[in-house]
Structure 1
């Protein structure tokens, strides 16, 4: 699967988009952090980075 630990070129935004596509329903940003840290055990991004990207990628409803 694209975007795993071996893919060093994956950006935080790309990882979030990939994870969100497989997600059903709404989620809290901390759930996404936990999910990304399971996908990328080396934790290449800080929580604040993930949060900032989630805000930037969000759509207001």
Structure 2
């Protein structure tokens, strides 16, 4: 006897057709996000996080 099992990912992020903001630099980013952005933000990019602590443009 065999069973068909379907496994679906729990935290799947679908980003089809979404526009993610891209800022030229931290000065521009802080105009919209004064406290900077964390690595779980869709806006976060490594270029904003010089010290690598997961908090960009702090």
Structure richer in strand, relative to its length: 2
TM-score between both structures, scaled by the size of structure 1? 0.32
More contact order relative to length (CA 8 Å, sep ≥ 6): 1
Structure richer in helix, relative to its length: 1
